[in-house]
């Protein structure tokens, strides 16, 4: 018999855009995509951080270029995507969290978080899709969402709301662009140990809450995001669209 062949996890010949790549999850995913053979455009507001990451990636034999980008600046971002694309893969890790109780949340924080997490993510995803459709190419578009897109959380009403919204437009976009071979998914991590989450882990009450909820008994590391990123970007996930990949240690299993 002819044995079935496992689809490749390689990304050779693919051009990937990683937004929010200057640190944490975004930087790790950029490295993962580059190691899998993709040419990677790393984008963020902090060009100095991008340059340092790019130097390390090139030293490891990866093809990489930098692009200073503020995803919340929709008009400029759309122009940049049109100029530098088309991109076969989008990994959007740009995001913002300002935590407070629902009664204490203010309009300025609501707008800032929504402008990046919802509006910025929506129009970035749309811009990459538009480039693919114009070029007649398939692609894989991935937004880093959160386990909080599926549950509620302490002092996280605004953040949860924005991430639930990302899950909603992901499903709608997947339906619209499926006939063009464009897949749209999210990765939903639990708490990942980064510089941004350090204050949360330093709070004994919050740390106890996290440790109690994660069934595997440990918090996430950026390396935990690298495999899922490559999987969704590659042909190994060719029939997966309009859904979320939960990397939450069992948090949402309750």
> What length is written for the chain?
254
Q: Any idea what DSSP says for residue 6?
A: P
What letter does residue 7 receive in the DSSP assignment? P
User: What CATH number is given for 15-248 in this structure?
Assistant: 3.40.50.720
Helices (H), the chain: 24-35, 47-59, 74-84, 107-114, 121-135, 157-177, 198-202, 204-213, 223-233
Asked if residue 172 has a cis previous peptide bond (ω within 30° of 0), the answer is no
Non-local (6+) Cβ contacts of 172 within 8 A are: none
How does the average pLDDT of the chain come out, rounded? 96
Joined tokens for residue 63:
């093809």
197 pLDDT exceeds 90? no
pLDDT at 128 exceeding the cut of 90? yes
What Cα–Cα distance (Å) separates residue 245 from each residue in 63, 133, 214? 27, 25, 16
pLDDT band at 99 (very low <50, low <70, confident <90, very high): confident
Q: Which residues are CB-neighbours of 56 under 8 A, at least 6 positions away? A: none
In the numeric block, which tokens belong to residue 241? 């669209």
163 is catalytic: yes
Instruction: Write down the pLDDT at residue 1.
Output: 86
Interatomic CA distance for residues 40 and 49, integer angstroms: 15
159 noted as active-site residue: yes
- The pLDDT, as a whole number, for residue 199 is 87
Q: Taking residues 96-112, report their average pLDDT.
A: 91
Which member of 159, 171, 213, 215 is catalytic?
159
Flag whether pLDDT at 196 surpasses 90. no
Which pLDDT band holds residue 218 (cuts at 50, 70, 90)?
A: very high
Encoding tokens for residue 55? 């130097």
Is 163 a residue whose pLDDT tops 90? yes
Q: How confident is the model at residue 121 (pLDDT cuts 50, 70, 90)?
A: very high
Interval 35-69: pLDDT, tens: 999 999 999 999 999 999 999 999 999 999 999 99
Residue 124 is predicted with a pLDDT of: 98
The average pLDDT across 92-118 equals 92
DSSP 155: T
Q: Residue 44's closest CA among 55, 57, 32, 54? A: 54
Please report, for the chain, the start and end positions of each structural domain, with discontinuous segments joined by +.
Answer: 15-248
CA distance 112 to 163: 14
Give the list of residues 6+ apart from residue 253 with CB closer than 8 angstroms, or none.
Answer: 215
- Please report the pLDDT score of residue 198 as a whole number: 85
User: Residue 206 — very low, low, confident or very high, per pLDDT cuts 50/70/90?
Assistant: confident
At residue 200 the predicted structure's pLDDT band, cuts being 50, 70 and 90, is confident
Selected catalytic residue, list 14, 39, 163, 213: 163
Nearest of 249, 169, 191, 195 to residue 217 by alpha carbon: 249
Tokens of 214: 């994660």
């Amino acid at each position: 018999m002819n044995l079935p062949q496992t689809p490749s996890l390689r990304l050779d010949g693919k051009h990937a855009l990683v937004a929010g790549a200057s640190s944490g999850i975004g930087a790790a995913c950029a490295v993962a995509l580059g190691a899998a053979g993709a040419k990677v455009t790393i984008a963020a507001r902090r060009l100095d951080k991008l340059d340092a990451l790019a130097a390390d990636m090139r030293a490891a034999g990866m093809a990489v270029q930098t692009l200073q980008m503020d995803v919340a600046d929709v008009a400029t971002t759309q122009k940049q995507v049109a100029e530098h694309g088309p991109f076969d893969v989008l990994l959007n890790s740009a995001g913002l969290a300002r935590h407070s109780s629902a009664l204490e949340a203010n309009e300025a924080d609501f707008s800032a978080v929504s402008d990046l997490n919802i509006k910025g993510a929506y129009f970035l995803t749309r811009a990459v899709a538009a480039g693919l459709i114009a070029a007649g190419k398939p692609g894989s578009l991935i937004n880093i969402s959160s386990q909080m897109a599926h549950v509620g959380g302490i002092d996280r009403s605004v953040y949860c709301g924005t991430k639930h919204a990302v899950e909603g437009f992901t499903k709608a976009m997947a339906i619209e662009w499926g006939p063009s071979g464009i897949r749209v998914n999210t990765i939903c991590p639990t708490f990942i140990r980064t510089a941004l989450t350090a204050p949360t882990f330093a709070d004994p009450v919050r740390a106890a809450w996290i440790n109690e909820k994660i069934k595997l008994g440990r918090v996430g590391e950026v390396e935990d995001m690298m495999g899922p990123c490559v999987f969704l970007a590659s042909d190994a996930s060719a029939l997966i669209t309009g859904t979320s990949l939960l990397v939450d240690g069992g948090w949402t299993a309750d």
